[in-house]
Amino acid sequence: MVLSPVQAIVVYTDKEVHGAVGSQVTLYCSFWSSEWVSDDLSFTWRYQPEGGRDAISIFHYAKGQPYIDEVGTFKERIQWVGDPHRKDGSIVIHNLDYGDNGTFTCDVKNPPDIVGKTSQVTLYVFEKVPTRYGVVLGAVIGGVLGVVLLALLLFYLIRYCWLRRQAALQRRLSAMEKGKLHKTAKDSSKRGRQTPVLYAMLDHSRSAKAASEKKAKGLGESRKDKK
């Protein structure tokens, strides 16, 4: 018989969570296992106060039933919101107080997969939840990107309007040039038609002058002969 190698169960939680006094906070816990979700699946939450050495059990889920600590620090303040079929073992802590600061540990067993490390999340309770650095940085980066995109949009809009105006001006100049060329060609054609007429009139004037001179010369000779 060949035995398959044992794979450790892996538990996931947040690294830290923040909450305000009097509010509530959710402690998320999920896991990965090489086995199907067993009917014997169990979740256990332990709490170690800030500055304390010992961890106490505050919540346990087994055989489909949640068991909540009814005598300790979190009496009547813990709510089970997990879903074992989705590998979720999350809980909610209500009415937070400064004394809730500390480390919470989630431990999961999914027989036969029971080997693995627990996962821890640290709770910080404030009078007012501070804005996280990442949120501020993200907002600043988002604002800068928005300004840059707006500037680029305005630049391309102005450039588009300028190019459109230049194209319209170019079309107008081209139309004017075509009109001038057409007018010049028309004037040239008109002058070309007028030139032969002028030459004809000039020739006719010359012919008439020659005939007049010839007639006057003839009359003069006739007068001489009479004498």
**Bridge partners of residue 11, in order along the sequence:** 31
C-alpha dist (Å) from residue 155 to 75, 116, 144, 160, 166: 62, 58, 16, 9, 16
* CA 82/CA 42 separation, integer angstroms: 11
What is the average pLDDT score of the chain?
Answer: 82
Please, are residues 44 and 60 in contact by the beta-carbon 8 Å criterion? Answer: yes
Average pLDDT over residues 179-195: 64
Mean of pLDDT values over 35-63: 93
Peptide bond into 111 cis (omega under 30): no
Say if strands 16-20 and 119-126 run parallel, antiparallel, or are unpaired: parallel
Can you say how many angstroms the Cα of residue 166 is from the centroid of all Cα atoms in its chain? Answer: 32
- pLDDT tops 90 at residue 85: yes
pLDDT at 171: 84
Q: Percentage of the chain with pLDDT > 90?
A: 44
Distance of CA 187 to the CA centre of its chain: 62
Who wins on pLDDT, 227 or 210? 210
Looking at the predicted structure, is the pLDDT value of residue 152 above 50?
A: yes
Range list of H helices, 80-123: none
**Largest CA-CA distance found in the chain, in angstroms, rounded:** 173
* 3 — pLDDT class (breaks 50, 70, 90): very low
Is residue 146's pLDDT more than 70?
Answer: yes
The phi, psi pair for 196, rounded to 5°, reads -60, -35
Three-state DSSP state, 9: strand
